[in-house]
Structure 1
Amino acid sequence: MMDNLFADRVKGLKGSAIREIFKLIQQPDVISFAGGLPAPEMFPAKELAEIAQEVLLNNGTTALQYSVTEGYGPLKEIVKQRMDKAGIGKKEDDIAIMSGGQQGIDLTAKVFLNEGDGIICENPSFIGALNAFRAYNAKLFPVTLENDGMCIEQVENILKANNHVKLIYTIPTFQNPAGITMSLEKRQKLLEMASKHNIYIIEDNPYGDLRFKGQDVPTIKSMDQDGRVIYVGSFSKILSPGLRLGWIVARSDILQKVIIVKQVNDVHTNIFAQVLATQYLLKYCIDEHIKKIRALYGKKCGFMLECMDKYFPDYCEYTRPEGGLFIWCTLPDRYDSVEIMKQSVQHKVAFVPGNTFMADMEKPCSSFRLNYSTMTEEKIEQGIKTLGEVLKSIDN
């Protein structure tokens, strides 16, 4: 058979269940809490349209030509200024612009992971990252996600028992899918363990700017004194996901390896998108734009939680995030969120079942993820009420 010709590293890969759900929720009457999409009303479409015309008329040669792999210089400088303000990056570090944060994760994995190498990750975690690691035939070491971040004792035990672990992957701030934030103490301990065991940390931070409640916690990278942390950032949640713009901050020698594999991957990040974003960031105040996004998400999250408190059964537990895009719900172990999702979709409400985010996707999972950023308050209440009725009916 022809599929015998597929490489071993892709034979076990499965498409993202989230992408499959997207096909279903294109129906206009479906209320979707499934995607990780930013609110479309926050896209600066009018401003970008005006800038696009100016760029093509006045700077078309640069915007439409091949460019350097490291990224458009003016955009790199803007990102560097923002990172410096947050205390991210030392003199040994450099920045490269990626085709979204996802590419930064994938290429870092490609640089570090041989077949069979280990990577520690939160359980649950971001499906895009997990599939990137699976694509390189890495061994996933899942660690329980607690209310204040991954279980540090489990991390330590894994490192003591396995000498082939190379990376720790974490989303410490408003984690996807759980919405929780890792404590400062755990961030410090994680960094200490990375140094002790001579491994590296991928700190994925696409949601860090979206805090609408509570106090900021320093990034792991801001505490990194010896280049142990590869920091991945993104414009997807604060400007536009369709532009596909992200970045990496890492030690220069590591970044040079990433740049080499990026040259093979896509030559360079879309230069038109880079120039477009640069001009927007020079012309408008991105921090004022982010404040508006925070206010909207804080209102929507608070409203969804109120509705869940009102309509969900008592046996359903859920996180109360201080930022980001997601609420993580957990039912007693006897329930399977895939089966509940099937029933929910019949009632025109969609969400993502929890097994999608687990290292072992085949094992039944009683948890599921809700997104609050895209639906109106009217649809949030309607959808949560309907989902609550589905949850209450499953024992009847």
Structure 2
Amino acid sequence: MDMHINTPAVFSQRAMQLTSSAIREILKITERPEVISFAGGLPSPSGFPIAELRAAFDRVLDTQGATALQYGRTEGYTPLREWVAQDLSREGAPIDPEEVLIVSGSQQALDMLGKLFIDPGSKVLVEAPSYLGALQSFSLFQPQFQAVPTDAGGLVPDALDDALVRDARFIYVLPNFQNPTGLTLDRARRQALVERCAALGLPIIEDDPYGELRYAGQPQPGLLELGRPAGATVIRLGSFSKVLAPGMRLGYVVAPKAIISKLVQIKQATDLHTATVTQMAVYETVRDGFLQRHLPLVRDLYQRQCGYMLDALQQYFPADAQWTRPEGGMFIWVTLRDGMDTTQLLQQAIAKNVAFVPGAPFYAGVQAPTNTLRLSFVTVPEDRIRSGIQVLGQLIGPAGQS
């Protein structure tokens, strides 16, 4: 008699509401070599410092191997925390290393902050549109998303009135080369944002994975730098994914010590600590000013790639299409004429071996428009950028065509 009965697993309500990322599903298609993909927000492998990282791992294992392969502090490798604190202090806001927590990629930080701040039904303020990975991470904790109005300059600080902010746990923003729009908040809006949030007692989560990738325009002060003198609570997320390599899975959180203390407790229950050998190798790589020598090369590469796509859009897209002109980062946001459905456009594009990300999944707390899309340009050669944009332009059709 067969005593093994197949009983379906009983998942939690939280697990039952999980869905796959729209981008992840698209990326399955883009693995085919014939597909020209503008979909993934992946840094260019041409910017990975492979030799330097290999040498750093060798030095760490040769000289501190026993320490590198042992358990470490939940807070992170102390020299790396000190380096992060010193690096950010150059922006003008003195940072104590005890205000720094090393995490396994900034995506882990988003998950931990969701655990820290969000109860079912909690109000969370986000830009419209906003980073899909953050929306997915926060959604796991069943918040009530409230969209903050945006315009061609990004988030509108004046929209943060008492009614919108009341009972909100935090506002989540990407001030530099935002994913997905590529927009950057100017200094006036940044100052207005931190002052408004300070007055309302609203914590700011400043997600800044792309800030070091500026290749045009003038650098802007971070919200952390502006927020501390204004009395705002700013929680800053940073990452080594875009400046070194995403496979390292290394990021950090900078926040007041009381918040760091709670995040440490959450991280202890999550993964004990971020990989020690990785932290030590990254510190060995960056401690002598390597990023100041390396990043100009990455910025030049991204600027060229962005220029190729902007030129192709100008040549092949209809006159009634609009798009952003980023000063850094990896993304261009396109708005097509009213009535266009970019989800349907994607299916037509995939049939012609071109992929992008429709804009609708990037919206939460507001009715998503159907006529937007995100293009990523950094991993596609110039000839394929032009070919892919030409295909999309033909599918969209000339101006005025419904």
Indicate the SS of the match to 2:364. Answer: coil
Residue 213 of structure 2 aligns with which residue? 210
Residue 185 of structure 2 aligns with which residue? 182
> Which residue of the other structure, out of 160, 174, 196, is the alignment partner of 1:171?
174
Alpha carbons of 1:244 and 1:47: their partners in 2 closer, same or farther (altered >3 Å)? Answer: same
Which segments of structure 1 move beyond 6 Å, counting only runs of 4 or more?
1-4
> Which residue of the other structure, out of 387, 393, 397, is the alignment partner of 1:388?
393
Q: Which letter does structure 1 place at the counterpart of 2:195?
A: E
> Which residue of the other structure, out of 177, 188, 203, is the alignment partner of 1:200?
203
- Verify: 1:274 aligned to 2:279, yes or no: yes
Residue 227 of structure 2 aligns with which residue? 224
Indicate the SS of the match to 1:265. Answer: coil
Residue 285 of structure 1 and its aligned partner are, at CA, apart by 1.6
| Aligned ranges 1:43-62 → 2 under 5 Å | 43-62=48-67
Distance between the aligned counterparts of 1:134 and 1:105, measured in 2? 11
Residue 143 of structure 1 and its aligned partner are, at CA, apart by 1.9
Cα distance per residue 1:290-316 (max 9 Å; x no partner): 111111111110111011100111121
TM-score (normalised: structure 1): 0.94
Q: Which letter does structure 2 place at the counterpart of 1:195?
A: A
CA contact (8 A) 2:175 2:208 kept: yes
Residue 5 of structure 1 aligns with which residue? 10
TM-score (normalised: structure 2): 0.93
CA contact (8 A) 1:89 1:249 kept: no
Distance between the aligned counterparts of 1:258 and 1:184, measured in 2? 30
Residue 128 of structure 1 and its aligned partner are, at CA, apart by 1.0
Q: Which letter does structure 1 place at the counterpart of 2:19?
A: K
| Aligned ranges 1:135-154 → 2 under 5 Å | 135-154=140-159
Q: Which moved more, 1:378-387 or 1:246-255?
A: 378-387
Q: Which letter does structure 2 place at the counterpart of 1:166?
A: R
> Which residue of the other structure, out of 238, 249, 256, is the alignment partner of 2:254?
249
Q: Which letter does structure 2 place at the counterpart of 1:171?
A: L
Distance between the aligned counterparts of 2:293 and 2:114, measured in 1? 34
Residue 333 of structure 1 and its aligned partner are, at CA, apart by 2.6
CA contact (8 A) 1:92 1:252 kept: no
CA contact (8 A) 1:211 1:294 kept: yes
Distance between the aligned counterparts of 1:140 and 1:25, measured in 2? 31
Indicate the SS of the match to 1:368. Answer: strand
Residue 131 of structure 1 and its aligned partner are, at CA, apart by 1.3
Distance between the aligned counterparts of 1:210 and 1:364, measured in 2? 29
Cα distance per residue 1:50-102 (max 9 Å; x no partner): 22233223221111111111011111111111111122445697111111111
Residue 197 of structure 1 and its aligned partner are, at CA, apart by 1.8
Residue 102 of structure 1 aligns with which residue? 107
Residue 234 of structure 1 aligns with which residue? 239
Cα distance per residue 1:26-66 (max 9 Å; x no partner): 11111111111111011011221222233223221111111
| Aligned ranges 1:242-391 → 2 under 5 Å | 242-282=247-287, 285-359=290-364, 363=368, 365-391=370-396
Distance between the aligned counterparts of 1:83 and 1:152, measured in 2? 24
Give ranges in structure 2 of 5+ residues lacking alignment. Answer: 1-5
Alpha carbons of 1:101 and 1:390: their partners in 2 closer, same or farther (altered >3 Å)? Answer: same
Q: Which letter does structure 2 place at the counterpart of 1:188?
A: Q
Distance between the aligned counterparts of 1:332 and 1:219, measured in 2? 34
Alpha carbons of 1:161 and 1:324: their partners in 2 closer, same or farther (altered >3 Å)? Answer: closer
CA contact (8 A) 2:88 2:95 kept: no
Distance between the aligned counterparts of 1:57 and 1:123, measured in 2? 49
Distance between the aligned counterparts of 1:93 and 1:284, measured in 2? 22
Say what the alpha-carbon RMSD is for the aligned residues.
2.1
Indicate the SS of the match to 2:175. Answer: coil
Residue 12 of structure 1 and its aligned partner are, at CA, apart by 2.6
Residue 41 of structure 1 aligns with which residue? 46
- Verify: 1:73 aligned to 2:105, yes or no: no
Distance between the aligned counterparts of 1:227 and 1:315, measured in 2? 41
Alpha carbons of 1:100 and 1:361: their partners in 2 closer, same or farther (altered >3 Å)? Answer: farther
Q: Which letter does structure 2 place at the counterpart of 1:354?
A: G
Residue 3 of structure 2 aligns with which residue? none
Alpha carbons of 1:10 and 1:197: their partners in 2 closer, same or farther (altered >3 Å)? Answer: farther
Cα distance per residue 1:191-219 (max 9 Å; x no partner): 12222222200000001111100001111
CA contact (8 A) 2:214 2:329 kept: yes
